[in-house]
Structure 1
Amino acid sequence: MKHHSSGAISSPGLQRFGIPALLLFALVLGGCAGHARGVMAPVLLTGATGGSKVDMLVVTSRVPSDDPATLFTGERSPRPYLNEITVSIPSGAKRKSGTVQWPKRLPPNPETEFAVTSVNQLNSVEEGRTWFRQHAGGGHALVFVHGFNNRYEDSVFRFAQIVHDSGAKVAPILFTWPSRASVFDYNYDKESTNYSRVAFEQTLRTLAKDPDVKDITVMAHSMGTWLAMESLRQMAIRDGKVASKIDNVILASPDIDVDVFARQFTEMGDKRPQFTIFVSQDDKALAASRFISGDVQRLGAINPAEEPYRTQLERAGITVIDLTKVKSGDRLNHGKFAESPEVVQLIGQRLVTGQTLTDSNVSLGQGITAVVAGTVNTVGKVAATTVAAPLTVLEQPKRVPKKTELGATLGSKTPSSELSY
């Protein structure tokens, strides 16, 4: 993918935000004021407590903390751990969709705040399979990977919110990797995703081999998209393909160098999952990431309606949903996919079940733009289309995309040594 860089100080991101502003964004990223920490100790629900609950399976490559209030640290474990966790969510009248009601003090009040109600450690793959059979969700597994600067509890509560608000009929599985939850540990976190590639690949492989699992959707956010892409690429290289049950990959605000994404995508081979990417050109976190990453555009900040992206995405068969105009309570505009009720419902009701999107059954309202990739048989007949409101998405069948250029050649069978940038 061509990023047209002419030097770091001339970066569009820097021109728009400036170095002092980027530092401010970093401090905002690191801020967790306003709610209690150490919320993983279970609370007892009374019969009068209303609301809903989300049961999830949590796989982690973190080191245990030996403290029931935190469960795991941000350090790296040589072996994965498995827990079953239940989160209570306040009733709809007491919370706004798209938000996490963090406890202001401990213990939390389940009437008005998110609260953990049970934690059980599982000690074998078979126990994990038993959990899946009990929470099968029609055989649909949704596997979520969080992003940069997340504590264990951050990822648990955010995923519980996504599952609840999306209405997804799935078995929710969270993979949480060792983040130190400090804005100053960006490089440590990035290396932790590399450290966790095998553990995440094995998680997906175990799910794919389970006869009770019909299909798998991988959804990753921010830096977690790097881990997801690397593990899928690694699986494809190891096995000659991505496991066939992995139908869908959703990348939200992907913090990936666009050139590297092109190589990762290509090296997965011809039989890839269906990709959907959520982007936003006003994502300040990705602007900061671009600044410290050689001034190469981040995938989650592209304008998919512009060339060369539009044609490249169309030919690759990648669907992109542009959330630039969507308003969010997130000051960095980095979590719109989870905070917009309309978007999170689209994820739960359509994308995780592998259904194609059409203009007759998808209308998300003002401010959301879709750029939907064409396929080899529709290129030239159906251009990538942008619509402000209502959202119109062109239906497309799943097909193997033809060769295109997105930094490297997407879908190409050309050996890596011959790929050009």
Structure 2
Amino acid sequence: MFTESRNAGRAVLSLGLALALALAGCAGTPKGMLSPVQTAGDGTSKVDLLVATTRAPTSAPGMLFSGERGPDVSLDRIVVSIPPESARKVGEVQWPKKVPGNPRTDFVTSDVERLDSTAARGWFRKTAGRKRQLLLFVHGFNNRYEESVFRFAQIVHDSGTDFAPLLFTWPSRGSVFAYGYDRESTNFSRDGLEKVLQEAVASPDVGSITVLAHSMGSWLAVESLRQLAIRQGKIPPKIDNVILASPDIDVDVFRKQMQDMGPDRPHFTIFVSRDDQALRLSRAISGGVDRLGSLDPTQEPYRSVFEKDDITVLDLTALRTGDSLNHSKFAESPEVVRLLGQRLIDGQTVTDSDTGLGQRLGSVLAGAAQSAGSAASVAVSLPISVFDPRTRENLGEQMGAVRQSVGNTFYSAAGH
């Protein structure tokens, strides 16, 4: 027994060190990136964000808030300048190498303004337009305040969404070794996020709300929604769409959270990736219980649960990005970011034809006489698979035709 315990501890330590080294390779963003920089035209774009936070303020230049916990929810308007398209790739944040950054090559801040609730409502009226739609983003583990601001600005810009963007940033210390502190900070912030949601729902200016959350932020988002449902008897209908990217949630706890929300809950979409190394570590240090963001949606009992609860799952396992941990594919993949803006944030149904799977299956059927090896190479090119109870029956018919046409060898190679 003691040998098994020591081996498990070594496995967690080894995985943790590998994760730390991988994250260290992405580190090095300078502090103080939020000091406003004068920007000219020159092809730059602007993203106007409202930022709500439960972090403690700091007097450090260009930082605004630290990773410590604050006494209440604070609101700021931050305008982020994004460099010209010729200087960047979709899905990437061009972090400054030093401050102040260069607007022609780096993400920089062009304006910062402290707001109260009345001013925040005015910001929404100016930003949201006729649709009156709000996108609320909750970041994940290991994020400084300014890092979460620039990442959300990148998602908003690259997705092309016209929703008014609201970032909720909670007290993360921005360190891979602060997992426990960050986890407790999400619990600390549940009331704060619920308060923000309540005020958005109560505003006659807001027509609908989409919640987008990543990693550990998914736990915070779902817990706050659960809390709101218990308090009010149901989730307010304005909150009609929830997207969880690589959710770091115990799968057993998620089932209970969904039950507690009741039947009148928003539509949920979940991004999963079975090669997510960050969630692999989370699973190891959380008693070996599967994390929601690394499940195989085709396997039981998860498949039946997703079908029963009408949850759409997008499997990104085959997708390759520059993220060595495979934990931020939703933000770094141009295909996924565009899909967010074109359909998912707006709550539209997503099918395999939207991700390219439908067209590729058609191509396979048309060339059914090709060899199993060639067919396998086609299967590898299917980067995003959609598992949606509303469209799975049609997908099953297509896959049946594929099996008949090219045989079980191809079917096995495709991994379905």
For normalisation by structure 2, the TM-score amounts to 0.85
Equivalents in 1 of 2:306, 2:396: separation in Å?
8
CA contact (8 A) 1:30 1:149 kept: no
Instruction: Give SS of 2:268's match.
Output: strand
Equivalents in 2 of 1:180, 1:358: separation in Å?
38
Instruction: Specify the alignment match of 2:199 in structure 1.
Output: 206
CA contact (8 A) 2:319 2:384 kept: no
Q: Classify 1:18/1:231 alpha carbon distance in 2 versus 1 (closer, same or farther; 3 Å).
A: closer
Instruction: Specify the alignment match of 1:400 in structure 2.
Output: none
Residue 36 (structure 1) shift: 2.1
Instruction: Specify the alignment match of 2:321 in structure 1.
Output: 328
Instruction: Specify the alignment match of 1:416 in structure 2.
Output: none
Q: Deviations over 1:224-254 (max 9, x none)?
A: 0000010000000000001110010000000
Equivalents in 1 of 2:352, 2:68: separation in Å?
46
Q: Classify 1:35/1:214 alpha carbon distance in 2 versus 1 (closer, same or farther; 3 Å).
A: same
Instruction: Specify the alignment match of 1:165 in structure 2.
Output: 158
Residue 382 (structure 1) shift: 6.2
Counterpart selection for 1:290 from 273, 279, 283? 283
Q: Once superposed, which parts of structure 1, at least 4 consecutive aligned residues long, lie more than 3 Å away? A: 7-11, 30-35, 358-362, 364-367, 381-387
- The answer to whether the aligner puts 1:53 opposite 2:68 as a matched pair is no
Instruction: Give SS of 2:300's match.
Output: coil
Instruction: Specify the alignment match of 1:37 in structure 2.
Output: 31
Equivalents in 2 of 1:180, 1:373: separation in Å?
36
Q: Classify 1:385/1:145 alpha carbon distance in 2 versus 1 (closer, same or farther; 3 Å).
A: farther
CA contact (8 A) 2:352 2:386 kept: no
Q: Classify 1:386/1:180 alpha carbon distance in 2 versus 1 (closer, same or farther; 3 Å).
A: farther
Instruction: Specify the alignment match of 1:417 in structure 2.
Output: none
Instruction: Give SS of 2:97's match.
Output: coil
- The answer to whether the aligner puts 1:373 opposite 2:388 as a matched pair is yes
Instruction: Specify the alignment match of 1:338 in structure 2.
Output: 331
CA contact (8 A) 1:305 1:386 kept: no
Equivalents in 1 of 2:122, 2:34: separation in Å?
23
* Percentage identity across paired residues of the two chains: 56
- The answer to whether the aligner puts 1:109 opposite 2:102 as a matched pair is yes
Q: Deviations over 1:355-397 (max 9, x none)?
A: 112455553783333342326xx99x6687998xxxxxxxxxx
CA contact (8 A) 1:218 1:248 kept: yes
Equivalents in 2 of 1:238, 1:382: separation in Å?
39
- The answer to whether the aligner puts 1:99 opposite 2:92 as a matched pair is yes
Between Structure 1 and Structure 2, the one with more helix by share is 2
Residue 9 (structure 1) shift: 8.5
- The answer to whether the aligner puts 1:262 opposite 2:277 as a matched pair is no
Residue 46 (structure 1) shift: 2.9
- The answer to whether the aligner puts 1:132 opposite 2:124 as a matched pair is yes
Matches within 5 A, 1:155-234: 155-234=148-227
When Rg is computed on C-alpha atoms for both structures, the one with the higher figure is: 2
For normalisation by structure 1, the TM-score amounts to 0.84
Instruction: Specify the alignment match of 1:391 in structure 2.
Output: none
Structure with higher RCO (Cα < 8 A, 6+ apart): 1
Equivalents in 2 of 1:89, 1:383: separation in Å?
39
Aligned length: 373
Equivalents in 2 of 1:231, 1:384: separation in Å?
36
CA contact (8 A) 2:322 2:332 kept: yes
User: What letter matches 2:348 in structure 1?
Assistant: Q
Equivalents in 2 of 1:206, 1:232: separation in Å?
13
Equivalents in 2 of 1:347, 1:317: separation in Å?
19
CA contact (8 A) 1:305 1:384 kept: no
CA contact (8 A) 2:88 2:94 kept: yes
Instruction: Give SS of 1:261's match.
Output: helix
Equivalents in 2 of 1:274, 1:343: separation in Å?
18
CA contact (8 A) 2:138 2:213 kept: yes
Instruction: Give SS of 2:103's match.
Output: coil
CA contact (8 A) 2:139 2:217 kept: yes
Instruction: Give SS of 2:345's match.
Output: helix
- RMSD of Structure 2 on Structure 1 (CA): 2.3
Residue 314 (structure 1) shift: 1.2
Equivalents in 1 of 2:398, 2:183: separation in Å?
33
CA contact (8 A) 1:103 1:113 kept: yes
Equivalents in 2 of 1:205, 1:374: separation in Å?
30
Equivalents in 2 of 1:386, 1:253: separation in Å?
28
Instruction: Specify the alignment match of 1:419 in structure 2.
Output: none
CA contact (8 A) 1:305 1:385 kept: no
Instruction: Specify the alignment match of 1:399 in structure 2.
Output: none
- The answer to whether the aligner puts 1:26 opposite 2:41 as a matched pair is no
- Which 5+ residue runs of structure 1 have no aligned equivalent? 1-6, 388-421
Residue 19 (structure 1) shift: 4.4
